[in-house]
Structure formats: structure tokens, C-alpha cells
């Protein structure tokens, strides 16, 4: 018996798309007038979301909160690539 994923790739990408829509609709923090974060800012946002996932999972084993933060982190990565360009993998 092999590993059975809990979600299809299609469902994962749909969840990321939903998170991106949410991020685009979310009002900017007070005093922030930058429409697009620099790459470093996106990396920091992503890192903070991954850290929240680690804390949720590591402190009390809350898989649900950890996965919620991971979806947010991945969406930050997508936003970064949308805003700054994507580099294709060379095989």
C-alpha cells in the first residue's frame, strides 16, 4: 500500500488561489503605502507564516493551524513570483 494524499493537486492550487484573492482584498497595514513588497519583504512575510506553522505544529500539534499558515506562506511565494517574475526550472 502506497501513500494516499489527502488533497488533489487541483484542490491545493484552488486553495492557494483563494488565499491569493484574500491577500489582494485585504487592506494594507496602516502607514504602509507600498503597493508591492520588494522580494526581501515577500521572503520575510513567507518566513513569518512558516514560523507560525512551526509554532502551531510544534507547541500543541495543531495540524489544522499549521496547514492554514502553510497555505498562507505558499500564497506569499506565489504573490512574490507574480509581482517580480517567475524563473522556470531548467531540466
pLDDT digits (tens, 9 = 90+) for 21-68: 999 998 776 666 567 899 999 999 999 999 999 999 988 888 999 999
Residue 51 and residue 76 in contact, taking contact as beta carbons nearer than 8 Å: no
* Helix, strand or coil, per DSSP, at residue 58: helix
pTM for the model = 0.85
* Torsion (CA) 41, 46, 52, 55 in degrees, nearest 10: -110
Rounded to 5°, angle at Cα 91 from 79 and 81: 10
Rounded Cα distance, 22 and 2, in Å: 35
Q: Work out the number of other CB atoms within 10 angstroms of the CB of residue 23.
A: 14
Amino acid at each position: 500500500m502506497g501513500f494516499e494524499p489527502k488533497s488533489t493537486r487541483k484542490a491545493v492550487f484552488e486553495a492557494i488561489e483563494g488565499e491569493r484573492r484574500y491577500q489582494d482584498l485585504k487592506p494594507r497595514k496602516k502607514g504602509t503605502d507600498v503597493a508591492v513588497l520588494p522580494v526581501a519583504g515577500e521572503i520575510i512575510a513567507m518566513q513569518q507564516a512558516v514560523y507560525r506553522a512551526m509554532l502551531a505544529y510544534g507547541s500543541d500539534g495543531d495540524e489544522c493551524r499549521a496547514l492554514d499558515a502553510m497555505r498562507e506562506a505558499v500564497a506569499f511565494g506565489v504573490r512574490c513570483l507574480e509581482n517580480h517574475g517567475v524563473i522556470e526550472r531548467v531540466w
